[in-house]
Amino acid sequence: MAEPAASPDQQAPLLKTPLHAEHVALGARMVPFAGYDMPVQYPTGIIAEHNHTRNAAGLFDVSHMGQAYLIADSHEAVAAALETLVPADILNLAPGRQRYTQFLNDEGGTLDDLMVARSTDPAEDGKLGLVVNAGCKHADFALLRDKLGDSAQLVVAADYALLALQGPLAAAVLGDHCSDASAMPFMASQRASFDGIAIGLSRSGYTGEDGYEISVHNDKAVTLWRTLLADERVKPIGLGARDSLRLEAGLCLYGHELDPTISPIEAGLIWSIQKRRREQGGFPGASRIQREIASGPARIRVGLKPEGRAPVREGAALKNAAGETVGIVTSGGFGPTVGGPIAIGYVPPALSADGTSLLVELRGKDLPIQVAPMPFVPHRFHKS
């Protein structure tokens, strides 16, 4: 969850989400993140928050993320425009569904990863909803405006907050306020009503658990937050547990597992590039993507389990038995559900098989670490 730090003379005042005062009132420890003052944990601590999300329902404020709409005269037109920047098949995205994809540069590296949703309303047939990462949103929006020109209109939804309700009890909790929630399949997206409040609702998240992301107008965000926290099954969860949950789920974090040098194929995201796009190309960096699909990438994202109890961190060198650096750790920490340290990193294909023994540099020493299968904790996304 790290973001590049600004130098003292570049630091701007931190932004606040519509729920900032709620976090402070709950005793959250606030930290700078992607230009916002965000809760990293509440008084119970990261491990308790992590475990509560695994066992019940955790509520996250993710309003720092970028929400926007891309609009053209028809779905075909807006899909064609967006497909010039992403490798996913947007044309065949069905109404009421959302799809994960990436903005790519001309070298096939990743500028950001994002969610794209298509409305169920025939009157909005030329409208796509986008959710992009907080630290990249201004660059993403500039990219869309610059590259798409008049082919599609970008409307930034800065007046909307975003909440995530995650965990095995999320559907039951949300179902008490939104009758449509429980019937939604995984990766569905629709408009709905929460106790009479208009919301945008998707069945998705970033924890490996079942759950939802809820888009709501800023002036109703506190009402939703307080209503959900009034349920004893729900606890507030900060950025610390959000990161440990996604690490156990083996999910990519932009700026760590994804960056402008890393392709979706290297990151193990070939599943996010549908057959038509793999074959036809027509997106930035397509030649590299097609070459890596055909011949394999030079490096592969893998799970890692260090021996012992000491966690390894981002940037730690991975070495072979001869002590030669062969890869790098991109994320690492303690996995509360796993009960020990885990990490994600990149290694050459020849060293990527589960069980491969490597060394990791930790505080000046080379310690044993093994390539391990991901996810570290099985996904429990809803299956309809």
Interatomic CA distance for residues 369 and 359, integer angstroms: 5
CA angle 315, 15, 143 (to 5 degrees): 65
**pLDDT attached to residue 345:** 98
Which residue is associated with the tokens 């107008």? 217
Cβ atoms 38, 56 nearer than 8 A: no
The yes-or-no verdict on residue 325 having pLDDT over 80 is yes
Which run of H or of E encompasses 147?
helix 137-148
Three-class secondary structure of residue 189 per DSSP: strand
Q: In what order do the strands lie in the sheet with 189-194?
A: 189-194, 197-202, 211-217, 160-166, 57-61, 234-236
Interatomic CA distance for residues 84 and 310, integer angstroms: 44
The contacts of residue 158 (CB under 8 Å, 6+ apart) are 67
**Residue 71 half-sphere exposure, CB side, CA atoms within 13 Å?**
9
The yes-or-no verdict on residue 2 having pLDDT over 70 is no
Which residue is associated with the tokens 């559907």? 171
**pLDDT attached to residue 6:** 39
- Per-residue pLDDT tens over the stretch 192-244: 999 999 999 999 999 999 999 999 999 999 999 999 999 999 999 999 999 99
Q: What is the mean pLDDT of the chain?
A: 96
The yes-or-no verdict on residue 10 having pLDDT over 70 is no
Three-class secondary structure of residue 204 per DSSP: coil
**pLDDT attached to residue 384:** 67
The DSSP call for residue 93 is P
- Other CB atoms within 10 A of residue 215 CB: 23
Name the percent of the chain lying above pLDDT 70: 97
Q: What are phi and psi of 135, to 5 degrees?
A: -75, -10
Which run of H or of E encompasses 279?
helix 275-280
The yes-or-no verdict on residue 383 having pLDDT over 90 is no
Q: Please, is 289 exposed, middle or buried when counting C-beta atoms within 10 Å of its C-beta (0-12, 13-18, 19+)?
A: buried
Q: What are phi and psi of 91, to 5 degrees?
A: -55, -40
Distance of CA 106 to the CA centre of its chain: 23
